[in-house]
Structure formats: structure tokens, C-alpha cells
Amino acid sequence: MISRSSQTAAIAFAVLILLLSASIGNAYEDVGVSISIKGTRSYKLKKEAQLLAKKQAIISYLKRVNPSAVGKSCAKQLVNDRAALIKRITTQEISQVGDYMEGSYLVRIDDEKLNYMLEELGCGAQNGATDVTILIMEEPPTKANISMILNPEDSTGVRKLRGLGPFAVFYTSYQRSIRDTIISKANKEGLKLTRLDTFDEFQKMRMSNDDPLVGVYFDDESEDFVINKRLLKVVRTRFAAQNTIVLYYRIESLYFDQVTRELNAAIAISLYDLNSGETKSVGSQDFMVIVPKGQSSVAIRDGLAEVASNAASLLMNQAKKQIRRMASIAQVHAQKKGTLPVTVTVHLKSKRTMYNVKKNLKPSMIRHSEIKGDSLILKLTKGIQADDFVYGELLGVLEGMGIKIPENNINLNGQEVIIQQ
């Protein structure tokens, strides 16, 4: 039977977690704007300047985080709905310069609501001239900074990684908790993250029944955190020709201090553009709570998952800006490539087969071809349409070699085509 004091302590711990969780994240961004209006400084002109400042702030924000949306109907819609998107406007300075009144303002924009609305209008950072895929994966934890000594049995030295036993047992639950928090936070910001475990083709690469397929698993034999290199290789092949950003999170530290009763987690996030090779470190964020005495090991385990998730949520406030920046760069590049020839990426099981395919295609349809890793990359002659080439030429050559490609394995996406055997 649970005592009244234990119940009170448990409630206090839960309330503390909820209060701290509720305070996570400032979903706004301050945008500086300068306005110049012809006329003499007056109350009416000041109001007009503020109105222009609000409109300009939204356009300036879009130019930075989602330039492909500027000039479209969705941008006009956001300006019209500015009352719901602007939290406040602060006048920094107003002066009369000749025939003009000049003012500078700081406009606070609800960027969570704005980007969510962009997504609803079909102008999100991931959509436009191209579709940008954001994968969520994990880098191995910093093993030396993980300590979960919950009872004397776990610190006897029996395990090679002293104190790591409980963490290893519940490792996948931490992975799922952090992953789901990051996805939830991203969704609120109008960003869509892709989970590898939602693809049938990756299921056979699970290292355990509950492996969330984020690229890292705990190996019982070596008692270490290991990268799933086979999964990573297939990811690179599968998403090679797409505009893909990989969001990597890492458990930098995770521990429970029995003396101070502290639960503490630190999470690091970095972003990697699979096409350009650009890597951007977002940084790290920690989160800590105090656990009252008398809490069970299970409560502490769940608490560690909670603080790890909260640290990840806090860090996403910085990560979201970098994600949008990288997605916007991809959109700009895609706009420039809009008039360029089509690129077809063919994934086959044999390099020899890829070579034979390359030799049997009509030279007049191919501007450039090369075998790169596990892929045959074909750049079509300018003016050749993707569907004409795929269905009128490529599939015929493949079928002539005894290779039948399932319809679901043909992905036509604008200027980029992916064929998977």
C-alpha cells in the first residue's frame, strides 16, 4: 500500500515536470523594420507607418525563412491575416527627415502560427519548387556521460558499463520519447519529419523488435552504442537524388544523482544536407528536475525520458530556424534548376547490370551518365520529358534484361526521378 507521503511526493514530482514542460519554448521571433513615409509627423502618419511595418515584417520574415513563398497568394494571405500573426509592435525611433517621416520598429511575429498557416496554404518550407524531406536519425550517445545508478545491484561492477544497465534496457523507450517530442515540436512549426520505420523497405533492418530505426542501437555483446551502418547505407542510396535534410539528435548526457536527487539530460542536435554535404550544428540543451525521496526506479526511469524530451523540445526552438534556412536554400536551388534537364537515379542490385543499362540506352536521350556508389545517375538531354524517358525507353531496356520494376518503385518528382529495383 502506497503511503500518503509517497503519493504527495509523486504528485509534486509530476506537477514540477508539467510546470517546466508548459514553460518550454518561445514561439515568436522579433523582426526589425524601417519605414519611410512622405508627410509631416502626426498621429495619423504614425498609425499608417505601424501598419506598413507589420506588413513589411511578415514579408521580411518570409524572405529569410521561406523565399519561395514570397510573391505567391499565400504571402498575401498572411499579410491579410497579420492581426492573428503579430503579437506586438514596438516603436524604436521616429524622426522627421525633410519631407519624410522615418520610423524603426520591432515586430514580434508568432512564427509557430505563421509557419503552420504556410503549411496549410501549401507554401511550407518543404514544398515549392521541390519537396524537401527531413529525416530524423540519431548519433551515438556520449557513453561516458550517462549514469543511471538506481540501486546497489546496478553498481556492483558486474557490468562492464557500471550504472549503464538500466539505461541500456530501456534505451529504445528513450529513443522513441525524444524522437516523438522532436516530431511533435516540428509539426507545430509547420515542418514534417519523416520516420524511417514508416517505410516497409526498412523493416528488415531492425536490430530488435522495438528498434525505432533511428540509426543507433545498443549492442549487448560489445555493451556499446553502435551505428546501424547497413541502415545508413540504404538511407543514403534511397534518398540520394532527393532534397533531403537529416536531423541528427544525440543524447549528450543523461544521469540521476542519488545524492542531490537531480534528474538531468542534455540533448544535442545537428543538421546534415544529404545532397550538398553541408552540416550545421544547432548546439546542445540541458534540462533538470529535482526528484523527491522515495520515488521508485520506474518513476526515475520515466522522469529521465521526460527530461530528455524536454531538453530536445527546447533545442528545437533553435533547430527549426536552421531547418527552414536549409530547406529554403534547397527551394532556391530547385527554382534555378527548374529549366535544367531531368536527373534519373536508378538503384539496381548489380553494378554490372547498371553498366549494361547505361550502354543500351539511346545516346541521343542521355546528356551525361555515371555509376556512383549503388546508383546509376542519368542526366537527360534538355527537352526530354521524365515520363517519356522512363516509360518509353528505360523500362523497355530493363525488361529486355529480365528486370521488372514494380510501379510503386517508380518515383517521378518534377526534375528528379528515382527508380528502385
Confidence at residue 49, expressed as pLDDT on a 0 to 100 scale: 95
Which residues lie below 8 Å from residue 362, measured CB to CB, with a gap of 6+?
A: 393
Q: Who has greater pLDDT, 254 or 145?
A: 254
Write the DSSP symbol of residue 342.
P
Structural domain boundaries in the chain: 29-109, 126-337, 343-420
CB count in 10 Å sphere of residue 335: 14
Work out whether the CA dihedral 310, 312, 317, 320 comes out positive or negative. negative
* Whether residue 229 has pLDDT greater than 90: yes
Confidence at residue 297, expressed as pLDDT on a 0 to 100 scale: 64
CA dist 43 and 219 (Å) reads 70
Quickly name the fold that domain 29-109 has.
Dodecin subunit-like (3.30.1660)
B/e letters for 370-407, b = 16+ CB within 10 Å, e = fewer, are ebeebbbbbbbeeebebeebbeebbbebbeeeebebee
Mean pLDDT of 177-201: 89
* Whether residue 393 has pLDDT greater than 90: yes
| pLDDT bucket at 338, cuts 50 / 70 / 90 | low
Mean pLDDT of 45-57: 95
Confidence at residue 97, expressed as pLDDT on a 0 to 100 scale: 93
* Whether residue 13 has pLDDT greater than 50: no
Confidence at residue 18, expressed as pLDDT on a 0 to 100 scale: 35
CA dist 345 and 240 (Å) reads 8
Contact 250, 143 (CB under 8 A): no
pTM over 0.85: no
Please report, to the nearest 10 degrees, the dihedral formed by the alpha carbons of residues 411, 414, 132, 348 taken in order. 30
Distances (CA, A) of 112 to 80, 82, 124: 17, 13, 12
Confidence at residue 296, expressed as pLDDT on a 0 to 100 scale: 67
Q: Who has greater pLDDT, 297 or 151?
A: 297
What amino acid occupies position 104?
S
Q: HSE, CB side, 13 Å, CA atoms: give it for residue 96.
A: 7
Mean pLDDT of 3-20: 39
Confidence at residue 320, expressed as pLDDT on a 0 to 100 scale: 84
CA dist 128 and 92 (Å) reads 35
Mean pLDDT of 404-421: 84
Confidence at residue 173, expressed as pLDDT on a 0 to 100 scale: 87
Which residues lie below 8 Å from residue 421, measured CB to CB, with a gap of 6+?
A: 347, 348, 349, 403, 405, 409
With cell 540519431, the residue in question is 138
User: Hey, which bits of 15-141 come out as E strands?
Assistant: 29-38, 86-97, 100-109, 132-138
* Whether residue 155 has pLDDT greater than 80: no
134 backbone dihedrals φ, ψ, rounded to 5°: -115, 110
- Average pLDDT value over all residues in the chain: 82
Which of 301-310, 333-342, 370-379 is predicted with the least confidence, judged by mean pLDDT?
333-342
Contact 141, 225 (CB under 8 A): yes
Contact 33, 61 (CB under 8 A): no
CB count in 10 Å sphere of residue 217: 22
